[in-house]
Amino acid sequence: MPRVLLLLFAAAAGAGPLRYAEDRAPAVVNPLFATTMSEARIDELLFEGLFADDLELRSVGRLAERIELAPDLKSATVRLRRDVVWHDGEPFDSEDVVFSIEAYKDRSTASSEAGRVSWISRATAVDPHTVLLEFEEPEYAPQDKLHFKILPAHRFSSRSVKRADPFRTQPIGTGPFRLVSFNDDNTISLQRHDRHWSPAALPEVAMREVSDKNYQAKLLIYESLEALVRVLPRDLATLQNDRKVELYPYQTNSWWHFGFNQRNRTLADARVREAIALMIDVDELLAPIGTGDRVSGPFVPSSPFYNHDVAPLRHDPDRAAEILTEAGYSFVSGRWLGPDGKELKLRLVTLSNLETAQDVVINVQSQLMSRGITVEQTFLGIAEYRDKVWRNHEFDLLLSQWSFDRSEDIWEQFHSRGNFSGYADPAVDKLLDEARASTDPQQKKALLRQTHAEIAQDHPMVFLWTLDSYAALSTRVQKVVVHPFYFFTWASDWTLGQ
C-alpha cells in the first residue's frame, strides 16, 4: 500500500501513540553521549546516520544517497540527500556531517562514541551536498562504519559539546520522529516528523519508564503498552497464549559469560580456569532462565566471526578434578585446597540489574560448592560494580553479558591493553590488532575466527550462551520488523490500528 494511504489510514483510525516501555528512561538524548540501550533506541527514532542497515543487515543510504570510494581506498566522496530537513525546519547539509564528525572526535566533548569516527582522519564539505572523507587506513567498506548519528551544526556554538548541553532534552534530528516533550514523570513523547524524506506511518510514539520489569508484560496484556523491547523468559508462555499479543524473535549480538580475574594468582593459572569451566554445567544453568545457543567463544553463532570449529566446553567434573590435581590441588574433606594449603574460594560479583542473573548465580554457586569450591556471591549497583570490578579488580569471578553492535569489536574485552581482568596473550593481542587494522572484510573474518580459537584455549572466561530474545507487540501493531540491536531502525514502516 502506498505510504500516503497508510498515513491517511492511521490518521483516520486515530490509533494514538505506540507506547513502549524502558526499565530506565534515557538521561541524555544526544547520540554523542549514548551510554545505555534505552538511549540508543530513542536515538534511532530521532536521528539518522549517513547509512543504516536494511532488512538483510546490509548498509544502505539514509542521509547519504551514495558513496564513491577512491581507488586507493584512502578516501571516499559521500553524496548527500537533498530532501532532508531537521526537525526545526532547517535544511540538512554537508556542514552538519563535518560538524558531527569533529564533535565526536573532539577530546573536550568526551564522547562515549568517539571510537565510531576514529578511523576518519578528516572530513571536508566539498559543497552543500557532498562530503569528502579521508581515512587513517584504506577502507574497503566505509559505509558499514558510517552508521553514527548526524547532529545539527546550527544548534551548537562549538564542536566541543558538553554532556549537559540543553540539547540533551530538546534534541533536533532528521529522524522519522521529533521529540515533543521530555516529561518530569520520565515519559518521552514523540511525533512523526512530517517533513521527513520518507515519513513514518505511526503518528506518535511514547516511551514510558516502567522500572519494575515484572509488570511490563502485564501492561502489554492490559493494553497500557503496545511494545515490549524484550520479554522476560518467564513471561513468554503468558504472552504466547494472549491473542492480542504477537511475539517477535530476534537475534542479539549479546553473550553471557563468567569472567575470571586473572590478576588473582590462583586464576592466573589457565589449568585452574579450565577446571572451573569444566565443573560448570552450562545447560543446567540455562534451562531455568530461557532458551538460547551455547557459545564457545566471544561471538554469537550467527556472527561471521564465530568459529564453528570450536565446540563449547562439555561439562566434565571428572576431568576437572584431574586437571586440578595436576595443578597441585588436593581434595580434602570435600574442599579443594591449593598448593599453599588454602581453600579454593571464589568471590562472584554480578550487576544487580542483570535480569535473571540471580537464578544463574544461585545455581552456579550450588554446582561449584557440590564440587568442592566455595562461592561467595555479591550483587552490585552499576557505579559500585564499575568501581569494584573495572577499576579496582575486587573479584574472582563475575557473571556478565556483553552486547555488541554490528562491528563486534572485542578488542577492549580481550586485548592486554584493553581488558580489566588481566587477561594477556601476545598471540591474541597480535590477532586483535591486525583485525582492527584490517579493512578487508574477508581477512578480518579469518583473523577473528582465529582469535576465537585462541581465546577459547586460554579460558579467560567460561563462555555461556546467547539468549533467544523476543520482542512483544500488540497485534494492533503491524508490519513489524525489529532490528537486533537498535530495535527501531525499521519502525517507520510499522503501523498501528484501532
Q: Using CB atoms within 10 A of its CB, is residue 333 exposed (0-12), middle (13-18) or buried (19+)?
A: exposed
At position 53, the amino acid (one-letter code) is D
Distance CA 123, CA 131 (A): 7
Q: How far is the CB of 417 from another protein (least distance, A)?
A: 12
Distance CA 147, CA 267 (A): 39
User: Of 258, 228, 270, 280, whose CA–CA distance to 389 is shortest?
Assistant: 258
| Residue 112 makes contact with another protein by CB under 8 A | yes
Residue carrying the nine cell digits 500516503: 4
Estimate to the nearest angstrom the gap between the alpha carbon of 85 and the chain centroid: 29
User: Which region among 93-101, 212-220, 313-321, 398-406 touches another protein (by CB under 8 A)?
Assistant: 212-220
* C-beta of 109 vs 191, nearer to another protein: 109
Cα angle, residue 9 at apex, residues 5 and 13 outer, rounded to 5°: 175
User: Which region among 86-94, 136-144, 205-213, 431-439 touches another protein (by CB under 8 A)?
Assistant: 205-213
Residues 339-378 within binding reach of another protein (CB under 8 A): none
User: Which region among 55-63, 203-211, 289-297, 397-405 touches another protein (by CB under 8 A)?
Assistant: 203-211
Distance CA 466, CA 82 (A): 41
The strand pairing partners of 401, in sequence order, are 256
User: What is the Rg, in whole angstroms, of the alpha carbon atoms belonging to the chain?
Assistant: 24
- Residue 149 in 3-state DSSP? strand
| Residue 21 makes contact with another protein by CB under 8 A | yes
Distance CA 178, CA 371 (A): 56
Going 254 to 259 to 263 to 268, the CA torsion angle's sign is negative
Contact string 164-193 vs another protein (x = CB under 8 A): xxx-xx--------------xxx-------
* C-beta of 112 vs 130, nearer to another protein: 112
How many Cα neighbours within 13 Å face the side chain of 330? 6
Q: How far is the CB of 362 from another protein (least distance, A)?
A: 21
Q: How far is the CB of 284 from another protein (least distance, A)?
A: 30
Q: How far is the CB of 235 from another protein (least distance, A)?
A: 13
User: Which region among 211-219, 279-287, 427-435, 481-489 touches another protein (by CB under 8 A)?
Assistant: 211-219
Q: How far is the CB of 187 from another protein (least distance, A)?
A: 8
Residues 27-66 within binding reach of another protein (CB under 8 A): 27-28, 33, 35
Helix 270-279 crosses helix 317-326 at what angle (to 10 degrees)? Answer: 160
User: Of 361, 349, 348, 353, whose CA–CA distance to 232 is shortest?
Assistant: 353
How many Cα neighbours within 13 Å face the side chain of 253? 21
| Residue 117 makes contact with another protein by CB under 8 A | no
**How many Cβ atoms sit within 10 Å of the Cβ of residue 84?**
19
* C-beta of 127 vs 387, nearer to another protein: 387
Contact string 216-245 vs another protein (x = CB under 8 A): --xx--x-x---------------------
Distance CA 431, CA 20 (A): 41
Distance CA 323, CA 332 (A): 16
Contact string 372-401 vs another protein (x = CB under 8 A): ---------xxxxxxxx-xxx---------
Q: How far is the CB of 110 from another protein (least distance, A)?
A: 5
| Residue 118 makes contact with another protein by CB under 8 A | no
Which of 54, 68, 108, 366 is in the footprint of another protein by CB under 8 A? 108
* C-beta of 38 vs 495, nearer to another protein: 38
DSSP 8-state assignment for residue 157 = S
Per-residue cell: 80: 548527500
Which of 9, 119, 197, 215 is in the footprint of another protein by CB under 8 A? 215
Q: How far apart are the first and last CA of the chain?
A: 18
Which of 85, 114, 132, 313 is in the footprint of another protein by CB under 8 A? 114
User: Which region among 25-33, 248-256, 260-268, 313-321 touches another protein (by CB under 8 A)?
Assistant: 25-33
* C-beta of 162 vs 436, nearer to another protein: 162
Which of 74, 79, 122, 162 is in the footprint of another protein by CB under 8 A? 162
User: Which region among 122-130, 137-145, 157-165, 287-295 touches another protein (by CB under 8 A)?
Assistant: 157-165
What is the binding site for another protein (CB under 8 A)?
Answer: 21, 27-28, 33, 35, 107-108, 110, 112, 114, 162-166, 168-169, 184-186, 208-212, 215, 218-219, 222, 224, 381-388, 390-392
